Amino acid sequence: MSYGISKTVTLSFEQTIEKVTEELKKEGFGVLTTIDMKETLKKKIDVDIPRYTILGACNPHFANKTLQIEKEIGLFLPCNVIVYEQNGSVTVSAFDPIIMDKIISNPALQPLSEEVRQKLQRVIAAI
């Protein structure tokens, strides 16, 4: 099962983080959290991995709408976007909100999931 919207890019790792943040903002998302997994794993368990960053993105209007429909939706928020290095290239990937429709049986969420999916697809396409 595919659960992300992904693209390998020609930008550097740092440029990709900047571009993702910029494109998310254009779609009404802010980045609430930034988790540097490379640094965290090195610090906590002395493991070296390629650069891997998790951006916790939130669109407050959609977050509010979904919380009104389904209180437990917070388990899926914020929308995670990852940027990572692998085999000399950089990949950016966003969680596909349509997956929530397969897990949560609430038809009222489907139009919102689709709208957020379209926004995230535009973000990934623009990078």
**pLDDT tens for each residue of 113-124:** 999 999 999 999
For the cut 80, the answer to whether the pLDDT of residue 1 exceeds it is no
pLDDT at residue 17 tops 90: yes
3-state secondary structure of 9: strand
Q: How far apart are CA 4 and CA 98, in angstroms?
A: 10
- Say whether pTM exceeds 0.95: no
Q: What is the pLDDT of residues 29-49, one digit of tens each?
A: 999 999 999 999 999 999 999
Question: What is the model's pLDDT at position 2?
Answer: 83
Domains in the chain, CATH or no CATH each? 4-125 (3.30.310.70)
**20-31 residue pLDDT tens:** 999 999 999 999
Query: Structure tokens of 105?
Result: 């049986």
